[in-house]
Amino acid sequence: MAVPDGPVLDASTARRRGREARSALGGSDRSRASAALAETLLALPELADTTAVGGYWPTAAEADLRELWSRLHARGVKVHLPRIDAGSAERESEHGARMDFVRWAPGVEMRPNRFAIPEPVGDCTPVADLDVLVVPCVAVDRHGTRVGMGAGYYDRTLAEVHPRPALVGAAFECQVFARIEARSWDIAMDLVATEARVTRIPDPQN
């Protein structure tokens, strides 16, 4: 990734800068970048052979990949979107809130969650059954360290999944930074995709 070297950002600073950067994109620029990011993702070898993928429904400022989910669905891929309001109160109080993934298709019933983000209605699919999970990033670095909205749903959910699906961090290029301080609970991405490029993160075990 063509990101200049710079100071190591803590998560709060990275989240603030990432939000500012994506908010600075005009509507037409965001639409063009979202479309280009969708094409970048569609060209990934991981998505060429997948039968089950996890995605996300965009908030106002996030990269909008809804057209990508429709294209994958038309290709026969089982597309799943997150649902955070399905877990029991005990599950949340003991371990912190997690998310489930539910099969999505165009026209499926959607209901807004506590953050007003639409979620599909249906039975949950285990995350381990997904081949690829496309994860939205508020900020991400070229080493795969991701910062989200701050609620920790992805990190807590993925911490319990072994083996994990291939994790693809999706962001605009302006949200990519040289280095973000990784916290002990952070789950690193396997690759990072933007509208401009794909960066594969070396396996630290190799």
Domain boundary assignment for the chain:
11-200
CATH architecture of 11-200: 3-Layer(aba) Sandwich (3.40)
Return the pLDDT at 114: 87
Question: What Rg value do the Cα atoms of the chain yield, rounded?
Answer: 16
Burial class from Cβ neighbours inside 10 Å (0-12, 13-18, 19+) for residue 107 reads exposed
Is pLDDT of 90 > 90?
no
Q: Summarize pLDDT for 96-120 with one digit per residue, the tens.
A: 677 999 999 999 999 999 889 999 9
Cβ contacts of 33 within 8 Å, gap of 6 or more: 25, 63, 172, 173, 195
The pTM (predicted TM-score) of the whole model is 0.91
Q: Summarize pLDDT for 143-185 with one digit per residue, the tens.
A: 999 999 988 999 999 998 999 999 999 999 999 999 999 999 9
Q: Are 133 and 50 in contact (CB under 8 A)?
A: no
